[in-house]
Every structure is written in structure tokens, then in C-alpha cells.
Structure 1
Amino acid sequence: MDVTVVWAAIIALGLFMYVVLDGFDLGIGIVFPFFPDEKERDLMMNTVAPVWDGNETWLVLGGAGLFAVFPAVYSTVLSALYLPLIFMLVCLIFRGVSFEIRAKANRTKHLWDLAFIGGSAGATFFQGIALGAFLQGIPVIDGAYAGDAFGWLTPFSLLTGLGLVVTYALLGCCWLVAKTEGDLQRRLHRVVWPLTIVLLGFIAMVSIWTPLQDPNIAQRWFHDGLFYRLLPVPFLVAVCAFFMHRAVRERHHNTPFALALLLVLLGYAGLLVSLWPYAIPSSMTLWEAAAPRSSQMFTLVGAAVILPIIIAYTTMGYWVFRGKVRHGDQHHYH
């Protein structure tokens, strides 16, 4: 058993679960400006109030796994992306505080709405910037970051930042379609398809730009026999878009969210295939970045215990609070 690959899979799973679960509740904050009615905003926040903080567990799992098993990646990537990650955490703090205080605020409720919107959009944007900077490659010399403090700020990283904002907005909108009803749900349905079109545009731009700006990814896509294996991905994206249009037209409740998840999964799978076998693109492979095997085995025991517990309580939380959320439901966080 190659324990390095096992750990890479665990961290990849943790990051994907974070993107999916925290993505839709960040997305709710991003679409907040389109729904200015206070009661509707209360309802929208109540759809995620019981589960939003548990969603962030997956980010902690991914970060802790990276620190324990790929310390070279942890130190190098954090040095390179220190500023966008700090900005992301500050935005998450504002968003978390707005969850706590907004439900009890009266005169300052509009300020906490702004904190929720800004925190959600800002955290998402800086996550996307960090992703773009990582994909572009991080210069490493003698195992240490060799760039400057603003090496992450590039046109490509700005593009991926905006792309992730649209992605999370679509996830949030589709989640709300599944959790609401009546006039609010009808207006949410009208937002889903335009967001899908914009997201498809970002997917196309990132897919074209990625191999152009990294010769190693271009080599992997077009010269190592991977191109034909990746061909089904754009086809499946088009199929998802077709069914999304039909689901919106026929006013389906749960199908749009399932299709949005599938779009994210397809993009994530393409990303992982492009990066393999690098832990840092073009600089360091998984095995070069990994901790000693004894350390990996020791931490794997802990992961084997913790991972099922996280999956179990996450599943239970969503099961207990399944179904529609209606005005007057007291699901807000106390």
C-alpha cells in the first residue's frame, strides 16, 4: 500500500467536501444582495444555521492532514499564499460573527447583513485566488518559497477567484431552491440558469488558460495520452447544463442542487488529473513532499478514527434538518 497516495486521497476528499458543503452556505451570502427582503434573508440563513459551522470541519481536516503528512507543501504554500489566506480567514470571521449576532440585532441588522455578504464573497474570492496561484505554480528553491509577497496576484488568479464566486453562488442558489418554496423559490429558480451560463463561461476560460500558462500541464493533457481520457469531461459538463436548464424550466426542487454538485465534481476531477503526481505544480511531487512513512502510518490511524466520525455527524446533521424551511422556523444559531 502506498500510504502517500492514501493520504493524498484523504486530503483531496477533505478539500472537496469543504468546497461542496461550505461552498453552498458561502454562496447564500453571495446571492443575498438579490433578495433584500428581511424576512426572506432570515429564511435563507435559517436553511444553513444548523449545519454551517460543521461544514468548516473539512477545511480543518485538510489543513491538519497537510501539516502532518506533507509538511513541505504546508510550509511552502502557506509562505506563498500567506496574504490571501489571512484575508480569507478575516472574511470567515466576519461571516461567523454575523451568524451569531444578526439574529439578535435590531437597529444594526443591516450592518450584519453587509458583514455576511462581504465575508461570504470575500472568503470565496480569496479561496479562488489561492487556487489560481497554486495552479500557476509556486517557485521553490532548496525546499523553500522563492517568490515575493504578491506573487499570488496575477490575472489568472483573479479569474479563478471570480470563477469560484460564481460557483459558490450557483451552489447556494440551488441549495435554497431545495430548501424553500413559494414565491421565493420561483425567484431563485430564475437566478439558477443565468448563473449556470456564467459558470460554464468561467469553466471554458480556465480550461483553456490552464495548459497555456503551464507547459507541464499542457504536456500532460496533449502529449501523454491523457487528452482522450479527458474528452468525456466537457461532454458531461454539457449534459449537466442541458439537464440543469430542463430542471429549472420544470421547477424541480432537488435536481438543480444535485447537478450543481456534479458540475463541481467534474471540475475538481479535471483539476486533480492535471496536477497528478505533483504536490506543488512543476516543483515537488507527492513523494518528495511527504513526511517519513512512519509518520504517515501513525497519523493514518488517527484519520481512520476521526474520518468516520466526521462523516457520521455531518450526515446526521443534514438528516435531522432535512426538508423545507419555512417562515417562523427557529433554526437560527443560538
Structure 2
Amino acid sequence: MEMFDLSLIWALIIGFGIMMYVLMDGFDLGLGILFPFAPDEDARDVMMNSVAPVWDGNETWLVLGGAGLLAAFPLVYSVFLPALYIGVFLMLAGLVFRGVAFELRFKSRRDRRGRRLWNLAFSGGSAVAAFAQGAVVGTYIQGFETENGVYVGGPFDWLTPFTLLTGIGIMIGYALLGTTWLILKSEGYIQQWAYRLTTPLLLAVLVIFAIISIWTPLVNDVVWERWFGNLHVIWVLPALTLLCMFTVFWASRRGYEVLPFIATLGTFLFTYLGLVVSKWPWIVPPNYTIWDAASAPESQLFLLIGVLFVLPFVLVYTFWSYWVFRGKVRAGEGYH
């Protein structure tokens, strides 16, 4: 008998990595989605400079989650990649365009045409990546058509009305993260613009959250049983999500700077935990649990040693980068 459940440990590590990615990369994707609506080019400079020092570190968590899945749960890759190939490709292409735009936009200060091009790459890449992430989440909620551990569905099965809604929902949610981040990092007319956008985006998130909450148990029997068989337990998470949403509204209306962003992070956190609790322990729904999809214990243990060594350094680097670049970002100043 194993002293430790390695599959459970890996599930917690990967879940933590995905959660950190959503929370930390969500706001800079949100800024990209908001980019075309910014008041002027100075505001766009401030938006990009506010995340330029940390965006690449934020994506470290995506690498951790993806590499961890491949190493610890290879069955996930054998199903997810054929099922989500187009969606994952769109996400990665969006992230590439956005990453290139970070560097080249600042090198085009005197070239208006070039700057407009990189503005488009940044906003378009952010929007595509965010939508693809939401669609992937929606596909995971729906489940996969498999036989003997092999995906047997079509290449566009991931694109349904439900996944379109989850994709749009993630885009709007990330935009809300972007506005509350900008409230924290900017000042003057840029901050006021972010304040004005926060309430409409929050209402849109609330509406989509309600629709998805009603729709989700209808597309997945396991979620139906989980939700309505544990009313006294599982519904604590949606209640906390709604509390965080109210806090965003209340704090932004009263001019708070830090609390709206923290409450928006809480909204995402409790929604994410609600999804995990709803689907646990199915990692390839509706047929395979984390133990069914796990690699050999020897492989998991070998890789776990390396991850446990690296993870503290990633956490320290993340904290340090945010600490060093704390404070307001002003027009004409920044990372570049």
C-alpha cells in the first residue's frame, strides 16, 4: 500500500497551477480585450506597461499545468489533444501574437501604422486566447466521447452553443479582471475610465454566470447529481462567488482601489473551485477519473521530486516580481 496517493498529489499540483494561471494571466488577457476601447494611446501605454514586467512569469503556470498533465496523466493528452486540437491551437496562436506585440509595439513608437498593427495583434491575440480557454472549459464540462481511452468524436465537437457561451463568459470575466487591475495600477482619467467599465462588465458576468449555472447541470448528469444531491455543501461556493461580485460592485462604486481587484480574483477562485467540486474526481469526463488516467507511480514519484524542488522558486519569483513592480504606472513611465 502506498503511503501517499501520488495521483491525488499531482491533481492538487496541476489544479493549483491552472488556478494560478487563470488568476494571474487573466487580467493581462483582459487588458488586451479592452485595448481597442481605451481612451487614447497614452492609456494603452499605461495598460501594457502595467503588465509588461509580469506577463511572461504569469504564463509559467500554464507551462506547469500543461507539462504536469502530460507527465502525470497521459490519458488526458491522448483524449484532449484530438478533441481540442483546434481550440488549443487558437489559444497558443493568440498567446504568441500577444507576446510578440508586447515587445514590438514599444519599438514602433514613431511608426503609427506599425503601432496600430501591434495594437491589433495584442488585442486580437488576447481575445482569441481568452475565448479558446473558455471554450475548452465548456468542453470539459460537457464531457468527451471516448472508447477504450481513445477520443472518437469529431474535430468540431468542442464548438457548441454551450462552449460559445463559456468562451464569451471567460472573455468578459477577464475584461473585468483587467478593469479592476487597471484601477489598482493607474490614476487620473485612465483609472476613472476603468471604474466606469467595471459595473457594466460585472453585470454581464453575473448574467452569464447565472445562465451557465442553469445550463451546466442540464448538459452533464454528474453535475446535476452533485449539485442537487449536496445542497447544503456545494452551494456554499456559488454563494461566495455572489458575495465577491457584490463586493466588486460596492468597492468600485466607493472608489476603493485594491478591494475591487481582490474581490474579482475571489469571484474567479470560487467559480473555479465550484467547477472542480462539481466534476471531481473525473479528469476526462464522463468515463475516467484521475486514477484511471494516471501514469505509473514510479514516473509520478520521479517527476514529483523535481516539481517540488522547482515550485518554491516559481512562487518566490512570482511574489518578488510583483513586489518590485508594485505601485502606480504613469504615462511616459514604465517597464520598457
- Shorter-chain TM-score: which interval? over 0.9
Name the structure 2 match of 1:301: 305
Structure 2 counterpart of 1:49, from 48, 52, 55? 52
Name the structure 2 match of 1:137: 143
Listed as ranges, the gaps of 5+ residues in structure 2 are none
1:22 counterpart = 2:28: no
1:210 counterpart = 2:213: no
Amino acid at match of 1:54: G
Name the structure 1 match of 2:91: 88
1:170 counterpart = 2:164: no
Displacement of 1:68 in angstroms is 0.3
Displacement of 1:36 in angstroms is 4.1
Taking the TM superposition and a 5 Å limit, the aligned residue runs for 1:1-334 are 1-105=4-108, 106-107=111-112, 108-223=114-229, 226-332=230-336
Displacement of 1:233 in angstroms is 2.3
Deviation string 1:114-161 (CA, Å, 9 cap, x unpaired) is 111100001100111111111100111011111011111111110100
RMSD over aligned Cα atoms: 1.0
Give me the whole-angstrom Cα distance separating, in 2, the residues matched to 1:77 and 1:235. 31
Contact 2:248 2:261 in 1 (8 A): no
Amino acid at match of 1:221: W
Give me the whole-angstrom Cα distance separating, in 1, the residues matched to 2:320 and 2:85. 35
Contact 2:98 2:126 in 1 (8 A): yes
Give me the whole-angstrom Cα distance separating, in 2, the residues matched to 1:207 and 1:197. 15
Amino acid at match of 2:244: C
Helix, strand or coil for the counterpart of 1:165? helix
Deviation string 1:291-315 (CA, Å, 9 cap, x unpaired) is 1111111111011111111111011
Displacement of 1:86 in angstroms is 0.5
Give me the whole-angstrom Cα distance separating, in 2, the residues matched to 1:292 and 1:284. 16
Give me the whole-angstrom Cα distance separating, in 1, the residues matched to 2:14 and 2:42. 39
Displacement of 1:186 in angstroms is 1.1
Deviation string 1:228-247 (CA, Å, 9 cap, x unpaired) is 10222232233222222221
Aligned length: 330
Amino acid at match of 1:4: S
Q: Structure 1 segments of 4 or more deviating over 3 A? A: none
Helix, strand or coil for the counterpart of 1:279? strand
Displacement of 1:14 in angstroms is 0.4
Amino acid at match of 1:175: W
Displacement of 1:87 in angstroms is 1.0
Give me the whole-angstrom Cα distance separating, in 2, the residues matched to 1:184 and 1:36. 7
Helix, strand or coil for the counterpart of 2:233? helix
Give me the whole-angstrom Cα distance separating, in 1, the residues matched to 2:180 and 2:199. 10
Deviation string 1:197-227 (CA, Å, 9 cap, x unpaired) is 111111111111111111121122223xx22
Amino acid at match of 2:185: K
Contact 1:217 1:275 in 2 (8 A): yes
Contact 1:139 1:283 in 2 (8 A): no
Give me the whole-angstrom Cα distance separating, in 1, the residues matched to 2:241 and 2:70. 34
Amino acid at match of 2:6: V
Amino acid at match of 2:158: W
Helix, strand or coil for the counterpart of 1:117? helix
Helix, strand or coil for the counterpart of 1:331? coil
Give me the whole-angstrom Cα distance separating, in 2, the residues matched to 1:167 and 1:242. 15
Give me the whole-angstrom Cα distance separating, in 2, the residues matched to 1:72 and 1:203. 30
Displacement of 1:93 in angstroms is 1.0
- Sequence identity percentage: 50
Listed as ranges, the gaps of 5+ residues in structure 1 are none
Compute the TM-score of the two structures, normalised by the length of structure 1.
0.97
Compute the TM-score of the two structures, normalised by the length of structure 2.
0.96
